[in-house]
Structure 1
C-alpha cells in the first residue's frame, strides 16, 4: 500500500448530499461555513463565478467541465455576474423539488442564459484521521485537462452527473460509492500538481523517504517503532530522517506516531471495541499504559470518552446529511 492510500485508509465519508441546480441569469446562491465537510461544484453547462469568504483566494470564473472543490468547508457564493443578488441555500432548499434518491433539485433566477451545476457534500466521520486535509487550500479548481493527471477522473464526474440527472432506482447507493472514488481522485489530482520539493504534509507525501515512513506508520501503527527503525524504512540515516520528517510534517516522527495511534484508538472506541483490543492495535503492552496515553491526549479516560461519544450520538438528531449544505 502506498503512502497516500495508507493515510486515506482511516477516512470514512459518513454521508453525502447531492444537489442539482439550474440557474437562469441573474442568479446567485450563498453556502455557509460547514466544518468536517468537503464540498464541490461541477459546472455541467454554462458559466459561474465562485468567491470564497474570508480567504485570500481570488474570485474564479468557472465554465462547463470545470470542478471547484472546497475541502475545508469555507462559506462561499456562486453566481452568474459577480454582483448578482445572493439567496441562501436553506431558503432555496425549502422551495426545492422534493428530494428524489437523495438528490435536491433547485431552480432559481429569471429568464437569462442558463447554467447547470452539480453540488456534492462529503461529511467526514473524523477529519482528524486524515492529516492531508489540513494541508489542502481553501479552494481547488480543476479543469477538463485534469484528466491528463488522473485518468478516468472526468469520466467519473460525468458518470455522477448522468446518474443524478437520470433519477433511477438505486441512485442513492451508487452516488455514495462514487463519492469515495471521487474524493480520492480529487486528492490524487491535487497531489500530482503539487510542486516537487514543496513543504508541508503534501510535500511529505511527495518526498520518497518521508512517504515511506508515513506509509509504514499508517499501515502498522501497532509496531514498536523507533526513530531508527523508521529511518530504516525511509532508507536514510537516523539524523537525516528525523530532520526531514520534522521539517515537512511539522512534528517529530514519534510525536506524529502517538497522535496517529490516539486517532485510531478513538475510532476503535467509537466502534465499541474492547479496551484490550484497542490497546493491542495501537501498540501498547497493557491497558494501563494505553489508558495513561489516551487520557493525556484526550483529557479523559477511554471509558469516559466512549460514554461521551454515546451521549453525543444519542442527542444528535440525524438529518441525512442536510447539515452539510445548510445555510
Structure 2
C-alpha cells in the first residue's frame, strides 16, 4: 500500500489523511421565521451545521449558541440538539416534519413565512479507528465563526452557499462532497490551536508519533518494544519510558488495543473471526478471541452483534 510522503514523519498528517467518512444524513434547509426542530441523538456520528443565510439558535444541553451567516458548528459526539429561529419557536422532531428525501439527502422547507434562513446540515461517521480516536478528542461543541484566520474554510463555505442559492443538476452531490471537506477543514482548524497533550501530543512528537503511525499503518506486524524503538532510532528503555509518558499506556498495550479497534471494524463489516485473527498476526482464532475479550470486554460475536445493532439505529 502506498502512503503519502508526509506520513513518514507527520503522524498528525496521517491522522488527518484517514478522516474518511461515510455520510449518514445530509439536509438542505429552507426556513422561515418562526421555525425550529429537534435533531435526534446519533451515537457514533458527528453532526455539523452551516448557516448560509439568516440566523438561528443552536441548543445542546445547557449551551446556547447564536449562529449567523458563514458560521459552522460541529457536534462531535452526535448528541441530540435543537435548532430554532428564536427562543419561543416550537421544536418538533425533524422526523415529524415533511421533507423531500432522496436516499440520504433531504430538502427541508419549514416555518411560519417570516424572514428566511438557509442551512446545510449533516451527520457523518468516520470509518478509520485513527479518525474516530481523533474525533473523540474534540470538545462537546466546536464553533468555527467567521474569521480572517479561517480563510480556506470560508472559501468552502462560499461554494456551499452558492450551490444552495443556485441549485443546479448535480448540486446535491456537490454540496455533500463540499460538506465533507468542510468537516475536515474544521477539525484541522481545531487541531491548530488544540493543546498538544495525551494522544494528540504523542502524535505530534517526532519519534513517538512515527511509532504510532507505524502501528496504525501495519497493526499485523510482529511488533515488540525493541522493534518499535529501532524504527525510531531510540534505545529500548528510553522509547518505552517516553511512549508510556506521552500515550498514557505501555507500547505493547497500545498495539493490542489498536488491533482490537481494527478488529471491531472488520467484525462489523462481516469478516470472519478466523480471517481477522490471521490478518492481525494471531496464530489461532482462540488466541485472538481471548485477547479481544480481555481488551474489549465482550466476545467477538457479541461485539459484531452490538456493532450491527448500532449501524441499524444510525442508518
How would you bin the TM-score normalised by the shorter chain?
0.7 to 0.9
Q: Distance in 2 between matches of 1:263 and 1:86?
A: 41
Mapped pair 1:37 → 2:35:
no
Given the alignment, which residue of 88, 107, 111 partners 1:108? 111
Q: What SS does structure 2 have at the residue aligned with 1:34? A: coil
CA drift of 1:86 comes to: 3.4
TM-score w.r.t. the length of structure 1 is: 0.76
| Partner residue in 2 for 1:134 | 136
Mapped pair 1:199 → 2:203:
no
| Partner residue in 1 for 2:182 | 182
Residues 1:296 and 1:108: Cα distance change in structure 2 (over 3 Å)? same
Q: Distance in 2 between matches of 1:224 and 1:126?
A: 21
TM-score w.r.t. the length of structure 2 is: 0.79
CA drift of 1:240 comes to: 4.5
| Partner residue in 2 for 1:15 | 23
Given the alignment, which residue of 51, 58, 83 partners 1:50? 58
Mapped pair 1:121 → 2:123:
yes
* Structure 1 segments unaligned to the other structure (5+ residues): 322-327
* CA contact 1:127–1:133 (8 Å) conserved in 2: no
Query: What's the Cα RMSD here?
Result: 3.4
Aligned residues between the structures: 306
- Which gives a bigger RCO, structure 1 or 2 (Cα 8 Å, sep 6+)? 1
Q: Distance in 2 between matches of 1:225 and 1:308?
A: 30
Q: Distance in 2 between matches of 1:227 and 1:254?
A: 7
Q: What SS does structure 2 have at the residue aligned with 1:153? A: helix
Residues 1:61 and 1:231: Cα distance change in structure 2 (over 3 Å)? farther
| Partner residue in 1 for 2:243 | 245
| Partner residue in 2 for 1:96 | 98
| Partner residue in 2 for 1:325 | none
* CA contact 2:51–2:119 (8 Å) conserved in 1: yes
Per-residue CA distance 1:43-64 (angstroms, 9 max, x = gap): 112223323205xxx5333221
Q: Distance in 2 between matches of 1:155 and 1:191?
A: 19
Given the alignment, which residue of 290, 293, 296 partners 1:292? 290
